[in-house]
């Protein structure tokens, strides 16, 4: 009876947390739509210093480009908050079943992951994006300097795609530090086993080197 009650309690809590996650994701999507121009400006703002007198503009060549850009923008913002909500509720859901040392370890990893995610956004907006624009715009020439002229007329949807790709690349690279911490922790726990088996490792490396070395080297 107690087991059935516990399972029923876990299922109810899981349903409630899924509902809260979906509700939060929907709320962020709706709010992002009402402030879509502000959010889009915040994504463009890191590159305004690269534009001459802030006169650079974006174009669209398809009738639905602007609408598609806003949909992709609010989906991007909503998905980021959805991921944060998902990790938080998943962590809170499993906390009652953890030992104290497990809770401290996972809480530290979660804090480190969120901190690195925050710093990755700062570095992307303050360094990577301006530097990338400065590099690529350096190929733009004027009539006075070259026979051939190159002038950027960027499409807004292509700029958003570039930003999203750089964002995910930057975030994933920063999250590698968390994986490195997990790996080093695993190595630390397995250090005694490695020391016990190191003779077999040396012998295995010697055999592999023997088979892979060409005959003319002997």
The model carries a pTM of 0.76
Which domain, by its residues, includes 124? 2-217
Three-state secondary structure call for residue 155: strand
* Residue 141: CB atoms within 10 Å: 13
Angle 163-150-154 from CA coordinates, rounded to 5°:
30
Per-residue pLDDT tens over the stretch 134-191? 887 777 665 555 566 667 777 888 889 989 998 998 888 888 888 877 777 777 666 6
Please, what's the largest Cα pairwise distance for the chain? 86
pLDDT of residue 81: 92
More confident residue, 118 or 140: 118
b/e per residue 67-96 (b: at least 16 CB within 10 A): eebbeebbebbbeebbeebeebbeeeeeee
Number of domains in the chain: 1
């Amino acid at each position: 009876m107690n087991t059935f009650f516990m399972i029923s309690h876990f299922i109810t809590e899981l349903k409630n947390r899924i509902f809260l996650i979906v509700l939060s994701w929907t709320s962020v999507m709706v709010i992002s739509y009402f402030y879509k121009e502000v959010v889009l400006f915040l994504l463009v703002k890191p590159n305004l210093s690269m534009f001459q007198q802030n006169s650079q503009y974006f174009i669209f060549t398809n009738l639905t480009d602007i609408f598609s850009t806003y949909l992709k923008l609010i989906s991007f913002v909503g998905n980021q908050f959805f991921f944060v909500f998902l990790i938080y509720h998943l962590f809170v859901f499993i906390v009652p079943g953890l030992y104290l040392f497990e809770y401290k370890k996972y809480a530290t990893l979660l804090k480190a992951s969120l901190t690195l995610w925050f710093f990755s956004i700062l570095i992307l907006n303050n360094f990577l994006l301006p530097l990338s624009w400065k590099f690529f715009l350096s190929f733009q020439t004027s009539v006075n300097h070259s026979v051939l002229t190159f002038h950027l007329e960027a499409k807004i949807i292509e700029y958003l795609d570039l930003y999203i790709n750089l964002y995910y690349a930057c975030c994933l690279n920063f999250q590698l530090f968390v994986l490195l911490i997990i790996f080093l922790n695993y190595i630390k726990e397995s250090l005694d086993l490695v020391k016990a088996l190191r003779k077999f490792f040396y012998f295995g490396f010697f055999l592999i080197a023997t088979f892979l070395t060409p005959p003319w080297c002997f």
